[in-house]
A and B are shown apart, each in its own frame.
Chain A
Amino acid sequence: MGYMEIIIGGIFVNNILLAQFLGNCPFLGTSKKMETAVGMAMAVVFVLVLAGVITWLIYTFFLVPYKLIYMRTIAFILVIAALVQFVEMFLKKSIPALYAGLGIFLPLITTNCAVLGACILNIDKELSFMKTLVQSAAYAVGFGLALILFAGVRERIILARVPKPLQDTSIGLVTAGILSLTFYAFKGMI
């Protein structure tokens, strides 16, 4: 599998939100306003790439040699939780502007299944180190793209007259389905 395939595949064909259904809680939760969507997308790009690389290192150099593969889930979630905490402290100290921009979304990422899911998928596919890096970045960009597109659509829906039972999450899900359909069109590319 070449790098180009990984990039196109990660962003469009196997989009982590719309084709693999990972990270849907923040997808619906933070997409009502463009600002929060951009904040969440940036935070995910940041953490997902770091988490993908670090979990790969831990899996290859620690879990495999010591035959602890069955502890994978626990190890990964601890790494992600610690990483998020660390990133939060680091940003607060050195880049306060970005920290203020990300705000509440940074701690929420610990329980974002897109992050843990992407790490586990990378390990399951037995990718090399460089490919893990590229794949994580592609997934993260795909997440950001889908989230920001969806937020744009949802801002318009507020202006529309939606039947009462369909309001809010319900119409959000149907819209996500249509957005997912557009991403589905890329399926033949790989």
Chain B
Amino acid sequence: MAKTLTQEFTKGLWKEIPPFRLVLGLCPVLGVTTTMENGIGMGLATTFVLVFSNILVSALRNIIPSKVRIACFIIIIATFVVVVELLMQAYAYPLFLKLGVFIPLIVVNCIVLGRAEAFASKNNLVMSIADGLGIGIGFTLSLSALGAIREVLGTGKFLGASVFGPSYEPFTFMVQAPGAFVCLGLMLCIMNLVGSK
């Protein structure tokens, strides 16, 4: 256990980047990434919950009895999800409407619970913050990459601005449900191909 702070932070960016390396929390990944904006918004909301639940779980790790720890983690996570929900309703209402059911569903995102159980409950506060930030930013990056690919191919636009000009016939398949699965599967394939070399 002689890992440095930077190692804990950077592992979330490549070595254990969700959802590619840890195949967890797929629902928001597939559900909201029709545009890059949605992807970034969802990623940041998840990062917020991840960092703060890691902080609280890590701070309370010696107080929480191990028998009821999962229930305690879920309550801690749910509290922060409600905080995010209310904050987004107040300051980013259009985005909140677009993300819809996926914001309350951060509660059952396996990545958040997985980090609380596998990391924050065993490590100190500073390490847990680094871990939460790393995984959260990695998750945001993957979501925005997937969102960008689907938006560019599916609508011919990037963040609302036209990329290919008016003659481009949008490849609508990409922004619909089946395209999400196929696109994520192919991205995973490319990651495996690059990683194996």
User: Could you tell me which A residues sit within 8 Å of B by CB distance?
Assistant: 18-25, 28, 70-74, 76-78, 81, 110-113, 116-117, 120-121, 124, 164-167, 169-174, 176-178, 180-181, 184
Contacts and interface: CB of A to CB of B under 8 A. Distances in A.
A111 B104 CA distance: 13
B177 A19 contact: yes
A74 B191 CA distance: 36
15 contacts: A18-B177, A21-B31, A73-B82, A74-B79, A78-B75, A78-B78, A111-B110, A113-B27, A120-B104, A164-B192, A166-B185, A166-B189, A173-B188, A174-B181, A174-B182
Given A23-B27, A25-B27, A116-B105, A177 B180 contact: yes
A180 B174 CA distance: 13
Contact of B26 (A19, A25, A70): A25
Interface centre among B85, B113, B182, B190 (most CB of A within 10 A): B182
B181 A77 contact: no
B185 A113 contact: no
Interface residues of B, number: 41
Interface in B141-197: 176-182, 184-186, 188-190, 192-193, 196
A154 B27 CA distance: 20
B74 interface: yes
B81 interface: yes
A21 B177 contact: yes
Interface in B78-130: 78-79, 81-82, 85-86, 101, 104-105, 107-110, 113
A177 B185 contact: yes
B104 A21 contact: no
Interface string B15-42: 0000000011111101100000000000
B177 A117 contact: no
B185 A174 contact: yes
Contacts of A71: 82
Contacts of A169: 23, 185, 188
A154 to B, nearest CB: 13
B71 interface: yes
Contacts of A77: 74, 78, 107-108
Contacts of A24: 26-27, 30
A172 B27 CA distance: 15
B181 A180 contact: yes
Given A28-B26, A177-B178, A70 B105 contact: no
A120 B101 CA distance: 7
A48 to B, nearest CB: 13
A165 B23 contact: no
Contact of B179 (A23, A110, A113, A177): A177
Given A21-B30, A184-B176, A165 B196 contact: yes
Contacts of B189: 165-166, 170
Nearest to A124: B101
B182 A177 contact: yes
B101 A73 contact: no
A21 B142 CA distance: 17
